[in-house]
């Protein structure tokens, strides 16, 4: 039984080292990232997790809305472009509100949440900027041929890219935290078995 626990621990450690998530964090974070902090407030960390999940969900919606514009935006009518951009703007505004709330809570969050927030800020700010730029460009060029000659396609691609980054960042951090929590639990279990 004791050998089996060490074998499982070894497999988990090997998986963490060779998985893309393990590689990502070994490159970007040379020292292990602390999951919790004595200054973190449990209620705030739980609320922050819910906000991160909501922002990820909104980013998925943005990605779904902008997808057709990326693929066939030049073929779609001005009205369809405007309708989709209005929906994107609504979702981006909600993401911005969530980001503001997270920034206000930052000192009360766990270190991994603070790091995730820092990674998300540039992407959400870019989403705000690119969405407004796309709306402004679309409003002043209601002709499909003229619109194709503007920066509009680039704005649309940037919206897709930044929404995708937010989705990936939240997913990566969440997977890392779950894996680290399982590893810590397994270490406690092995340590308890070894001491008894």
Domain count, the chain: 1
pLDDT of residue 29: 41
Angle between helical axes of 20-28 and 152-195 (0-180°, round to 10): 100
168-181: per-residue pLDDT in tens?
999 888 887 777 76
Of 60, 50, 64, residue with least CA distance to 98 = 50
Residue 190 within any structural domain of the chain? no
Residue 23 within any structural domain of the chain? no
Kindly report the CATH number assigned to the domain that includes residue 54. 1.20.120.230
Q: What domain range includes position 123? A: 41-177
94 vs 186, more confident? 94
Residue 187 within any structural domain of the chain? no
72-118: per-residue pLDDT in tens?
877 888 899 999 999 999 999 999 999 999 999 998 888 889 999 99
With beta carbons less than 8 A apart as the criterion, state whether 166 and 123 touch: yes
pLDDT of residue 166: 95
């Amino acid at each position: 039984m004791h050998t089996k626990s060490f074998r499982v621990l070894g497999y988990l450690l090997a998986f963490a080292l060779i998985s893309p998530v393990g590689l990502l964090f070994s490159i970007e974070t040379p020292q292990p990232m602390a999951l919790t902090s004595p200054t973190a407030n449990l209620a705030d960390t739980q609320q922050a997790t819910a906000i991160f999940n909501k922002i990820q969900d909104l980013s998925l919606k943005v990605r779904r809305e902008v997808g057709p514009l990326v693929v066939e935006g030049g073929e779609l009518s001005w009205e369809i472009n405007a309708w989709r951009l209005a929906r994107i703007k609504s979702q981006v505004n909600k993401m911005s509100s969530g980001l503001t709330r997270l920034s206000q809570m930052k000192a009360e969050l766990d270190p991994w949440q603070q790091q995730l927030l820092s990674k998300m800020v540039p992407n959400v700010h870019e989403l705000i900027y690119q969405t407004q730029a796309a709306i402004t460009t679309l409003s002043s060029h209601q002709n499909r041929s003229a619109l194709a000659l503007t920066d509009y396609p680039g704005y649309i691609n940037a919206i897709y890219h930044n929404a995708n980054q937010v989705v990936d960042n939240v997913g990566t951090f969440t997977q890392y935290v779950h894996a680290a929590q399982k590893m810590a639990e397994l270490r406690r279990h092995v340590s308890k078995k070894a001491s008894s």
